[in-house]
Each structure stands twice: as C-alpha cells, then as structure tokens.
Amino acid sequence: MKKYFTREIKIGLAGIAALLILIYGINFLKGIDIFKPTYHIYVKFQHVNGLAKSAPVYSDGFRVGIVRNMKYDFHDPGNVVVAVELDDDLLIPQGSCAELVTGLMGDVTMNLHLAEDRSQKHVPGDTIIGRMSEGMLDRANSLIPQVKQILPKLDTVLISLNTLLTNPNIAKTLNNVEQTTASLASTTKEINRIVNNDLQPLTNKLNILSDNFITISDNLKEIDYASTFSKIDTTLENVKILTNKLNSKDNSLGLLLNETELYDNLNATTENAASLLKDLQTNPKKYVHFSIFGSRKE
C-alpha cells in the first residue's frame, strides 16, 4: 500500500485538489455555479459599449446568467457576438431581445427583455438581437455640449455677481434695508398696540350699535305703514277742509277773518268798551248810587 501512495503521488493529489478548489473559487467569485446546469445562447450587437466577460445578465432585475465569451463576427462585419450562459430553468420566448445598460460607474450590464408570447421558445445555441440602451451616463454625456455652452454665460454671471458684491453701495443698501426692517418692526408693534387698545373697544361699540339697528329695524317692521299713512291722509284732508272754511264767508270764523266790516265793528265796540270803563273809573258816582238811608230826592 505504501508502494502506491508515495510522497510524490500525495503531492500530486494535493496539487490537483488545490487546482480544483482554485477553479471553483474563481468561478464562485464570478457568480458561476459549476454544479448548476446551464445552457448557452448568443446575442448579436452592433456595439458592445465596454461589455466585459463575466458581466452579469439580468431579467426583470434578477440575475439569470453571465457573459461567457465575446467575439467579432468576421463573416458579418459590424457585429459582435456575445455568448451568454443562462440558468437551465430560464426558457427564452422567441421575439425576446437583449439590451446593454451603462451604469453611473461605467459598468455595463445586460438585460433580457422577454417577449409576452411564450408559446415558442428558443433552444440552446440560438441567436437573439441585442440593442443599446441610453443609460444615465449616456444621458449625462449628451448634456455635456449644453453644459459647455452654459459655462461661458455662467462665468459672465459670476463676474457680474462678484462686481456687484464688491460694490460699496451694497453695504449701504443693506444698512438701509436693516433700518427699514427695524422701522417696519416698530410700525407693526404700534399697529398691534392700536388694534389691541383702540380697535377692540370700537369694535364692541359697533357691535352694540349694530344690535340697536337690528332692534330698530325689527320695530319698524312691526309698524302698520298703511294705517299710519291713511291717518295722515285723513288729517291732511281735515286741515284742507278747515283751511277752505277759513277762506270761506259762510261761517262766523270765516267772516271774522275775511270780512273787514265785522272787524271794524268789533274794533269800534272794543274802543267804546274801553272808553266806558275809563269813564266808570273816573266818575263812579255817575253810574252807581248807594245809600244806607235810601236815595235822596232833589
């Protein structure tokens, strides 16, 4: 037994085991499971855009394979054929395509877009069409010419801004703005004081006045305007009748106001009465005879 397991054989077996472990470890680091069954398909691109071997292949965001090899198609120039190793469980429907996507760090990955019609499948060794997708890096590169056009204008704006900021009038303006802000704060404080001290009592008085107007309005609503105006019309009619009678001569008061002869008679009568009273006061014995023993005959 010792004859077959010499030191050289043991070293050779250890070297083979180490080599197998190394191969498995490298494939494991690449994401390749050598014990899992797989199959190969080919994808034809016009430009691989930096795609590298061992790059992951995704479908709906899930890793389903790996790029195994790439070669230039000399029989059909302008195309690159990429060999893709896929999980044996993934069956690609006919009409599917592959797409290369460039990440922010410049890494390129492949995405499989599976067709919705799953009735017919590709078999191992078939070739599908590949296309390029504009990733975020590509979109950023497309913006570079626009950024280059903006940079001179931005530089001019920065120079103008720097000139503006170094202008001594800016400090004065800021000082004026600060003073204006302080004045506004003082004014706002005064307005708040007026609102709290003066407007509140005025508002209360206005509320009371409004309530009084409401009460007066309610009272006015209860007045019978039709009856009131009817009474006013009756009074005015009576005044009109009285005025007509005063202007007429068919009554005593009208005669008194309109007949001058009656006025003259009354005036004369009044004068005679006044004269009689005066004479009575002057010569009372002429009109009154009074004696205890009776009247004396002359």
Is a pLDDT exceeding 80 seen at residue 39?
Answer: yes
Is a pLDDT exceeding 50 seen at residue 99?
Answer: yes
> What was the pLDDT predicted at 33?
62
Is a pLDDT exceeding 50 seen at residue 131?
Answer: yes
Region 109-126: mean pLDDT is 88
- Which region among 163-167, 198-202, 257-261 has the lowest average model confidence (pLDDT)? 257-261
The mean predicted confidence, pLDDT, of the chain is 78
Give the C-alpha separation, 216 to 203, whole Å.
20
> What was the pLDDT predicted at 160?
80
> What was the pLDDT predicted at 256?
65
Is a pLDDT exceeding 90 seen at residue 42?
Answer: yes
Give the C-alpha separation, 36 to 86, whole Å.
10
Highest mean pLDDT of the ranges 142-156, 229-243, 272-286? 229-243
What are the pLDDT digits (tens) for 224-276?
Answer: 777 878 888 888 888 888 787 767 766 666 666 666 776 677 778 888 888 87
Provide the percentage of residues in the chain whose pLDDT is more than 90: 5
Residue 34 neighbours by CB under 8 Å, 6+ apart: 23, 24, 27
Give the C-alpha separation, 193 to 267, whole Å.
79
Tokens of 87: 């999980």
Provide the percentage of residues in the chain whose pLDDT is more than 70: 81
> What was the pLDDT predicted at 298?
45
Pair type for strands 38-45 and 80-87: antiparallel
Region 138-150: mean pLDDT is 72
Is a pLDDT exceeding 80 seen at residue 221?
Answer: no
pTM, 2 dp: 0.39
Region 54-79: mean pLDDT is 88
